[in-house]
Chain A
Amino acid sequence: GQNIDQPTEMTATEGAIVQINCTYQTSGFNGLFWYQQHAGEAPTFLSYNVLDGLEEKGRFSSFLSRSKGYSYLLLKELQMKDSASYLCAVRDLSEAAGNKLTFGGGTRVLVKP
């Protein structure tokens, strides 16, 4: 099985930077995904990491350390529209054929003016 932990809620100011951490325990790791979910809407894909290091996509970056079972999502130059929940999800090696993911509980980010 898998265990995925991320903080429940974070608050930050418009224009600032926020880092959302995700730690996981898995018997066989085969990729980590980050999703954004606005209230009442579907989760949308943000980023994917399978190798150690940083992946950058505009204002969003995601980092992975497989040896530590750790990832973070970095949101820079925060905008009000970034207020949402951010979901960390891990794909287990044994489930690779089915692309089955296990999700963390999500981190609700509130951006204040």
Chain B
Amino acid sequence: DVKVTQSSRYLVKRTGEKVFLECVQDMDHENMFWYRQDPGLGLRLIYFSYDVKMKEKGDIPEGYSVSREKKERFSLILESASTNQTSMYLCASSFRPYRQHNQPQHFGDGTRLSIL
């Protein structure tokens, strides 16, 4: 079974702090994704990566950065946390479609982040 592991289920940080959210997958997936999920807004893509050291902006990258130094690990960084970044953060991974067209994304359990 695919395993996508996020480092924390719950996290509380203060405004202005630099926050790191970690995600690790064990299936040798090329693609990794960071989303945030808010009531009424659904899942919104922040950043994704299709290879080591590669990153692409999603729909809402402002205030975030990412790091992909190893294939299995994708980190989301809040440079200076603000209260409007309080949300559920979900990491996902998948193979690239050329390997198998119907490849779904597999999700971690999420990190509920509160910025005070």
Contacts and interface: CB of A to CB of B under 8 A. Distances in A.
Contact of B98 (A31, A45, A97): A97
Interface residues of A, number: 25
Interface residues of B, number: 31
Interface string B20-43: 000000000001010100001111
Contacts, number: 67
Contact of A42 (B40, B50, B96, B109): B109
Nearest to A88: B42
Given A48-B102, A103-B42, A98 B56 contact: yes
B42 A44 contact: no
A94 interface: no
Nearest to B56: A98
Given A98-B31, A99-B105, A87 B90 contact: no
B97 A104 contact: no
B104 A97 contact: no
Contacts of A102: 45, 59
Interface of B: 4, 31, 33, 35, 40-45, 48, 50, 56, 58-59, 90, 94-98, 101-110
